[in-house]
Amino acid sequence: MNTHFDHVAQGGSSLALQQNRVLRNTYMLLALSMIPTVIGAMVGIQMQFSFLAGSPFIAFMLFLGIAWAFMYGIEKNKNSSLGVALLLGFTFFMGLMLSRILQVALGFANGGSMITLAAGGTGAVFFTMASIATVSKRDFSNMGKFLFVGMVVVLLAIVANIFLQIPALSLAISAVAVMIFSAYILYDLSRIVQGGETNYVSATLAVYLDIYNVFVSLLHLIMAFTGERD
């Protein structure tokens, strides 16, 4: 009888070890992925990078196409070092894309402080959600469908607003995106803690995209409400 309980205990502890390892590796790779992002953003700012600025709809569709190609490649190779290399390449590309909004922010008198505030806010959101996912031990996987629908609605609203160009809608999209992707951080980290996600490359990709979207949406809102012209 004891041996049965021993097996169960061993199974439980090895599962906990695996979950901790996935979580630790995810955090390490996430930290590493910020380096190509920053380099990409700095290169983009230096180059005055503007991705098909004349045609926002084609630019957005092309951006989604490239991003999805990267994500497909990362998922296909998630068990090899090629997956990590593709992930770091993807984060450089995302940094390059980020440079556009950073250039706009830096055009304001208080651009630097707004970027810092958005980064600090994103860090606070991440820390809060990571703490809830790790400490509460609750399973948040039932949020998945709801969040996915929310994300699709946000994407459709972004496409619609490319044509409509309504500033209030743009702010509403950013506000909803902050909430949805903050909840996605909780959902994705909870999946690791609960053992639903066992590959740290896939986990890092998911959490990276959540953080990226929270940062961009927060920065957009901060610029709209606190941007100071020279």
Predicted confidence (pLDDT) per residue in 189-203, tens digit: 999 998 889 999 999
* % of the chain beyond a pLDDT of 90: 78
Predicted TM-score (pTM) of this structure: 0.91
Given the structure tokens 């743009």, which residue do they identify?
Answer: 170
- Dump pLDDT digits (tens) for 90-132: 999 999 999 999 999 999 999 999 999 999 999 999 999 999 9
CB 110 within 8 A of CB 120: no
Euclidean distance between CA atoms 91 and 132, whole angstroms: 26
Q: CA nearest 37: which of 103, 97, 92?
A: 92
Whole-angstrom CA distances from 39 to 46, 50, 92, 104, 141 are 11, 16, 7, 18, 34
Give residue 229's pLDDT band: very low, low, confident or very high (50, 70, 90). Answer: confident
Q: Is the pLDDT of residue 19 over 60?
A: yes
Euclidean distance between CA atoms 14 and 20, whole angstroms: 10
Domain boundaries, the chain: 2-226
222's enclosing H/E stretch is helix 200-226
